[in-house]
Amino acid sequence: MSSLPLARSRLDEALTALKADLIHEDGPRISTMRNYRFAIVPYDPHLEYELRERVQRLMFELKDSGWFVLSIDLHALFLRRLKAMEPDDLEWIIESERELAVHDSERSFNYLREELANLIEGPEGLATDCSEIIREHLLARPETADRTVALVGRAAGLYPFFRNSALLRHLDGHTEHVPVVLLYPGERRGDNGLSFMGMLEPDRDYRPRIYP
Q: Can you tell me the distance from the alpha carbon of 38 to that of 34, in angstroms, rounded to the nearest whole number? A: 11
pLDDT at 67: 94
Q: Give which of 183, 66, 73, 169 is closest to 127, Cα–Cα.
A: 169
User: Mind listing the pLDDT tens digit for each residue in 127-142?
Assistant: 999 999 999 999 999 9
Q: Give which of 34, 31, 129 is closest to 80, Cα–Cα.
A: 129
Q: Can you tell me the distance from the alpha carbon of 172 to that of 34, in angstroms, rounded to the nearest whole number? A: 12
pLDDT at 13: 92
User: Mind listing the pLDDT tens digit for each residue in 103-133?
Assistant: 888 888 788 878 887 788 888 899 999 999 9
Q: Can you tell me the distance from the alpha carbon of 174 to that of 35, in angstroms, rounded to the nearest whole number? A: 11
pTM (2 d.p.):
0.87
pLDDT at 80: 93
CB half-sphere exposure, 28, CA atoms < 13 A: 26
Tell me what percent of the residues of the chain surpass a pLDDT of 90: 43
Q: Can you tell me the distance from the alpha carbon of 147 to that of 20, in angstroms, rounded to the nearest whole number? A: 14
